């Protein structure tokens, strides 16, 4: 493969002549000078080759320019496209690696490739994505402005609270200081009154000492005798005064104390004024998303009839962990390729990645039955134990998001454009909006108490398996019966159900080593996979994006097929 920067004529080079190329032939994979291009255009072998100027060739992306029209393994020209493996095939590829595959001739594909709406859609998608980027940038800018204003508001609020606290503490401080001063003044008054009394009694004692001394020195014996009795009475009075001071607590030591309110201690023990958190809310913008499966527009669609369907087994693996007993009753495939299994025995969701490697298990409510994908991270699970409900589970963070209350036990469940379609015993087929569980509607009323009924749906149809009557019934989305297929020899005992991209209906069975496919009108039936050891299957799911059928053995074996 010559690189885009090499612009020499390949034909001339083989003749040891160096000449600049003016044209490029992708089929020949070489440059051509003007003279060689004329011969190239005139030659029968190359006159239909698509030739472009070297200038235009150099404008091609390297990934496009490097696409070769010849098989690198067999050096034969590609002639067919295998839609099953999405690969170009030469004749040897077909005979050696794709014997049982379905093919489309390349000429049938490429003749409409440039007129296909794919590139218009992709260009529009790019415009939409650029517009989305602009919307996102503006939305984030506005969010930053709002956060800046919120920061200022919160800081102002904190300062206001601080100011209020300061004012309140100042007020309390003034009040306590006044109380301290008043207590001090009260004690001062009490002590001053006591001191005043003490001073008065001290004078009386001084006077008694003086009188006793004078009496002893100058009075007659009679005066001294009688005076002594008088002095004794006065001294007893003074002694009674002293005794009263001790007994009435007047001489107790007085201290000032201040007991701080416990609430203030709580404030002092605070380590922070508050907690700051970031709260997320649903987006306020709507993005225009790229169309799904755009590349399929490049290929003509060829609906498969049931006689053309072959199960190509490409992987089997064990779901069981160790020797633990399992009861797998439901399965689904996520957009990421992760596979989700319901283990009724342990009441767990088991998650395996697209390479069939175990990732995790998530505990859920008792007796789970079936599971369906809601979006890339969320599944819905039915239960047939009290309290009756459907669980919405985020498998990314392993949490139960919500529980939708139901009237009775539930079995099969599927997701149809945001509405859950499920079978409820004693009621029939019901629907409920994922975001508004109050809007539960009965699509098909069934009064009998049936168990192990499964459902699946397309945009305009609902398919229902009844294990009691061994039937598959197709309804419109408003509950009108479209067709019903009943054959006990073929369908007994029936369990899970799924549909492929062509509305062919696949059903699984308990105790049988095969699955059955029904035509979209319910008139034709065919058994498949009888030699693969499926046996005892409840769960079955068709991944319409990958053309893969997942079938589960209830005791822990999984089978992946190309359809």
**Could you identify the residue written with the tokens 């036990």?**
409
Q: How far is CA 540 from CA 41, 308, 332, 485, in A?
A: 56, 20, 8, 19
| 3-class DSSP assignment, residue 354 | coil
Q: pLDDT at position 118, please?
A: 64
Per residue in 441-482, pLDDT (tens digit) is 899 998 888 889 999 998 789 999 998 889 999 999 889 999
Q: Report all structural domains of the chain as residue ranges with CATH numbers, in order of start.
A: 1-67 (4.10.640), 74-115 (no CATH), 119-281 (no CATH), 306-562 (2.120.10.30)
Q: pLDDT at position 103, please?
A: 80
Q: pLDDT at position 1, please?
A: 40
**What is the rounded CA–CA span in Å between residue 71 and residue 455?**
45
Tell me the Ramachandran region of residue 387: left when phi exceeds 0, alpha when psi lies from -120 to 50, beta otherwise.
beta
Quick one: CA torsion of 313, 319, 320, 321, rounded to 10 degrees?
A: 130
Q: pLDDT at position 368, please?
A: 96
The mean pLDDT values, 10 residues at a time, for the chain of 563 residues are 64 92 88 93 88 90 82 88 83 87 77 65 81 89 92 93 92 92 91 90 90 89 88 88 84 86 80 80 70 47 75 86 79 94 93 91 94 94 92 94 92 92 94 82 88 91 92 92 87 90 91 87 87 80 89 89 86
**Is there a contact between 362 and 393 (Cβ–Cβ < 8 Å)?**
yes
**What is the rounded CA–CA span in Å between residue 155 and residue 163?**
12
Q: pLDDT at position 321, please?
A: 64
Q: pLDDT at position 291, please?
A: 46
Q: Give Cβ neighbours of residue 56 (< 8 Å, ≥ 6 apart).
A: 24
Tell me the Ramachandran region of residue 398: left when phi exceeds 0, alpha when psi lies from -120 to 50, beta otherwise.
left
Q: pLDDT at position 21, please?
A: 93
Q: pLDDT at position 294, please?
A: 46
**What is the rounded CA–CA span in Å between residue 217 and residue 137?**
117
Q: pLDDT at position 434, please?
A: 86
**What is the rounded CA–CA span in Å between residue 382 and residue 392?**
9
Q: pLDDT at position 518, please?
A: 94
> Within its chain, how far is the Cα of 50 from the centroid?
50
**What is the rounded CA–CA span in Å between residue 141 and residue 144?**
5
**Is there a contact between 562 and 312 (Cβ–Cβ < 8 Å)?**
yes
- Could you tell me whether strands 505-509 and 515-518 are parallel, antiparallel, or unpaired per DSSP bridges? antiparallel
Q: What angle do CA 39, 45, 46 make, to 5 degrees?
A: 55
Q: Give Cβ neighbours of residue 479 (< 8 Å, ≥ 6 apart).
A: 429, 443, 444, 462
**What is the rounded CA–CA span in Å between residue 68 and residue 514?**
42
């Amino acid at each position: 493969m010559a690189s885009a920067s090499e612009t020499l004529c390949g034909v001339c080079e083989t003749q040891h002549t160096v000449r600049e190329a003016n044209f490029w032939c992708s089929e020949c994979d070489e440059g051509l000078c003007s003279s060689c291009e004329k011969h190239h255009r005139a030659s029968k072998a190359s006159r239909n080759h698509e030739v472009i100027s070297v200038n235009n060739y150099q404008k091609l992306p390297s990934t496009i320019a490097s696409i070769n029209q010849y098989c690198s393994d067999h050096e034969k020209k590609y002639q067919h496209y295998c839609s099953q493996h999405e690969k170009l095939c030469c004749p040897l590829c077909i005979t050696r690696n794709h014997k049982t595959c379905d093919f489309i001739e390349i000429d049938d594909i490429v003749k409409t490739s440039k007129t296909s709406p794919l590139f218009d859609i992709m260009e529009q998608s790019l415009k939409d994505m650029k517009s989305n980027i602009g919307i996102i940038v503006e939305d984030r800018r506005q969010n930053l402005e709002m956060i800046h204003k919120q920061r200022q508001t919160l800081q102002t609020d904190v300062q206001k609270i601080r100011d209020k606290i300061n004012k309140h503490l100042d007020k309390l401080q003034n009040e306590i200081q006044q109380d301290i001063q008043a207590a001090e003044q009260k004690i001062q008054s009490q002590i001053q009154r006591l001191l005043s009394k003490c001073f008065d009694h001290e004078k009386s004692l001084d006077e008694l000492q003086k009188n006793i001394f004078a009496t002893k020195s100058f009075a007659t014996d009679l005066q001294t005798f009688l005076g002594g009795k008088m002095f004794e009475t006065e001294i007893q009075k003074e002694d009674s005064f002293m005794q009263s001071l001790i007994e009435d607590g007047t001489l107790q030591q007085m201290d000032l104390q201040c007991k701080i309110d416990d609430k203030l201690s709580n404030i002092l023990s605070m380590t922070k004024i508050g907690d700051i958190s970031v709260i997320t809310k649903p987006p306020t913008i709507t993005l225009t998303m790229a169309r799904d499966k755009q590349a399929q527009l490049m290929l003509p669609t060829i609906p498969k009839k049931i006689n053309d369907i072959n199960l190509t087994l490409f992987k089997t693996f064990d779901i069981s962990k160790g020797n633990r007993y399992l009861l797998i009753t439901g399965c689904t495939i996520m957009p990421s390729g992760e596979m989700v299994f319901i283990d009724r025995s342990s009441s767990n969701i088991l998650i395996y990645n697209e390479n069939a490697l175990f990732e995790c298990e998530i505990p859920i409510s008792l007796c789970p039955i079936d599971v369906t994908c809601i979006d890339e991270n969320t599944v819905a699970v039915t239960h047939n134990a009290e309290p009756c409900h459907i669980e919405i589970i985020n498998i990314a963070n392993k949490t139960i998001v919500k529980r939708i209350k139901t009237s009775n036990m539930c079995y099969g469940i599927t997701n149809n454009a945001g509405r859950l379609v499920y079978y409820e015993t004693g009621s029939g087929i019901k629907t409920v909006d994922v975001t508004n569980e109050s809007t539960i509607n009965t699509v098909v009323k069934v009064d009998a108490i049936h168990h192990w009924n499964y459902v699946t749906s397309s945009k305009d149809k609902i398919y229902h398996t009844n294990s009691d009557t061994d039937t598959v019934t197709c309804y419109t989305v408003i509950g009108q019966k479209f067709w019903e297929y009943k054959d006990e020899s073929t369908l007994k005992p029936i369990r899970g159900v799924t549909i492929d991209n062509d509305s062919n209906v696949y059903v699984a069975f308990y105790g049988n080593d095969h699955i059955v496919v029904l035509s979209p009108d319910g008139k034709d039936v065919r058994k498949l996979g009888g030699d693969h050891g499926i046996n005892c299957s409840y769960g079955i799911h068709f991944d319409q994006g990958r053309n893969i059928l997942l079938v589960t053995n209830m005791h822990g074996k999984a089978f992946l097929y190309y359809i």
